[in-house]
Structure formats: C-alpha cells, structure tokens
Amino acid sequence: MTKFVSIPLLFLLFSLTAFSQRNGRILSTRTATISTWERLQLQRNVLQLRTTVRLAERDGVMTTREKRRIRQLKAKTRRDAIRFKYNQRGRMI
C-alpha cells in the first residue's frame, strides 16, 4: 500500500521541482531583452524627439508649447522603454 502512495508522491515532487525551476529561468531571461519591433519603436520615438528639438531651436526662441511638447515626448519615450523592458509577456527569450 505504501508503494502505491509513495511512488506517485515522489513523481509529483520531482515534477513540481522541475516546473518551478523552469518558470524561474523564463522570468529571469524575459526582463533583460526587448524585441526587434520594440527596439525600432524606441528608435522612432528618439528620432521624433530629436526632430522636434531641432525644429523648436531653429528660430532661436523656444516657446512654452514647444518645451511642453519636448517634455511629453521625453516622458513617452521613457515610459515606453520601461514598459518594453518589464512587461509580462510569455515569451522565452
């Protein structure tokens, strides 16, 4: 009787151990990288920010509206970078 109970419990213990190790490895690698599409999106945001700054400084006077627009673009780029790095997708790499 004890063999019928102990062997399935032993297999259950091994499977739970392997499952927990697998999930930990996925979580640690997922937060370190961003996908190609996300990298391109960040590069496009940076390009838009540089263009906006160049156009705002072109006439020598930066208005309040232009400063606000630049500040908003910087904040959006920063938020996107953090979101892309730490979002909870289920990808392996």
Question: Would residue 9 be called left, alpha or beta, if left means φ above 0 and alpha means ψ between -120 and 50 degrees?
Answer: alpha
**In this structure, what is the dihedral angle of CA atoms 82, 86, 87, 88, given to the nearest 10 degrees?**
-170
Q: Is the pTM of this model over 0.85?
A: no
**Total number of domains in the chain:** 1
pLDDT of amino acid 62: 92
Pick 29 or 53 by higher pLDDT.
53
Q: Is 92 within the bounds of a domain?
A: no
Q: Looking at the predicted structure, is the pLDDT value of residue 25 above 60?
A: no
Q: Is 91 within the bounds of a domain?
A: no
For residue 79, give its domain range: 2-86
Instruction: Give the model confidence (pLDDT) of 34-84 as tens digits.
Output: 888 899 999 999 999 999 999 999 999 999 999 999 999 999 999 999 888
